[in-house]
Amino acid sequence: MSWVVISTVLTVIMVPYPVTEAKKCNFPAIFNFGDSNSDTGGLSAAFGQVPTPNGITFFHTPAGRYSDGRLIIDFLGGVFKKLLPKEEYFSKALYTFDIGHNDITAGYNLDMTTEQVKAYIPNVLDQFSNVIRSVYKEGGRSFWIHNVGPIGCLAYMLDRYPVSAAETDNFGCAKPFNEVSQYFNHNLNETIVQLREELPKATIIYVDVYTVKYNLISHAQKYGFDENSVVACCGDGGKYNFNNHARCGATKIVNGEKIVIAKSCKDPSVKIIWDGIHFTEAANEWIFEQIANGEFSDPPISLKSTSLKIACRGNVSSYHY
């Protein structure tokens, strides 16, 4: 699919371990459309494996994920035995979407102003709608869509595009960038409302990941995390432990020996941001626990709810918005 300034990966989640207690809905497969926040190996398969110390917490080796361990989608996923899904799975599967971060940051990478970035967001969402329509046309009926997180709290943005003290909130996040995230999310929500009317047999759930992530960052110590919530765990020093020219796992030759210069912190379990762009396994698990019960979903449907089970069984005609 061709999207404006977007990096989208389609992943069939095949998780070779029990990530959570057995899910009651029993989706035969989960198809994920997303960027590296939810990529379980597509990017690595195409361009080469992510380096150590990625994967150190759970896999103890790089496993295609830009994190020290598992991602939100890993906790959402189930245990599947075969690599390729059966044809009948496509209409019964759960389709998850976690997009938008790259669309926003790509504009800044092209030296666009905030207003210019906001101006192209409707076009991105038009193309997103076309993707949903295409999946629906092929039989997809159950959609779980995450909004964009607070990109103004990521070291990647804070280091590369510094803002004034007046534009920084009490937790170290850049307010202008977070406002763009909120603008994107407002438009995404309106887009989903339109899609529900257009695709009456679909169950489309909007998940407010922004609120969950910002709550975690702004109350880090309350939830058992380091108070320096915007500082990355894995990096090469600096105010945010982030160097765009030496990202997590970067190496250099010293006395003829290759050494890692962008290393992991001692305890990733208390850090929220892994490498300045992505979240740690501990943060991903905490976020999953908040969204799994439906409290931050619209409509407020739990992963184990009757309504989602109805969609899972394909009898979506009895559930409308």
Q: Where are the alpha helices (DSSP H) in the chain?
A: 42-47, 72-76, 89-92, 101-109, 114-137, 155-160, 175-198, 209-218, 281-291, 306-312
Residue 113 scores a pLDDT above 90? yes
The answer, yes or no, to whether the previous bond of 62 is cis (omega within 30 of 0) is no
Is residue 146 among the annotated active site residues? Answer: no
Is residue 218 among the annotated active site residues? Answer: no
Choosing from 74, 103, 278, 297, which is the catalytic residue?
A: 278
Which has the higher per-residue pLDDT, 144 or 13?
144
DSSP string covering 77-127:
----SSSS--TTHHHHSEEEEE--HHHHHHHHHTT--HHHHHHHHHHHHHH
pLDDT number for residue 123: 95
What is the rounded CA–CA span in Å between residue 301 and residue 153?
28
Choosing from 74, 159, 236, 275, which is the catalytic residue?
A: 275
Write down how long the chain is.
321
- Report if pTM > 0.85: no
Per residue in 224-246, pLDDT tens? 999 999 999 999 999 999 999 99
Contact criterion met (CB below 8 Å) for 72 and 296: no
Choosing from 36, 44, 269, 297, which is the catalytic residue?
A: 36
- The CATH code belonging to domain 9-221+277-318 is 3.40.50
Per residue in 271-307, pLDDT tens? 999 999 999 999 999 999 999 999 999 999 887 664 5
Per residue in 47-96, pLDDT tens? 678 888 988 898 888 888 888 888 877 776 843 344 567 778 888 888 99
Percent of the chain clearing pLDDT 70 (strictly above): 83
Choose the most confident range, by mean pLDDT, from 9-13, 20-24, 136-140, 189-193. Answer: 189-193
pLDDT number for residue 128: 95
Identify the CA nearest to 146 among candidates 37, 223, 43, 220: 37
Is residue 39 among the annotated active site residues? Answer: no
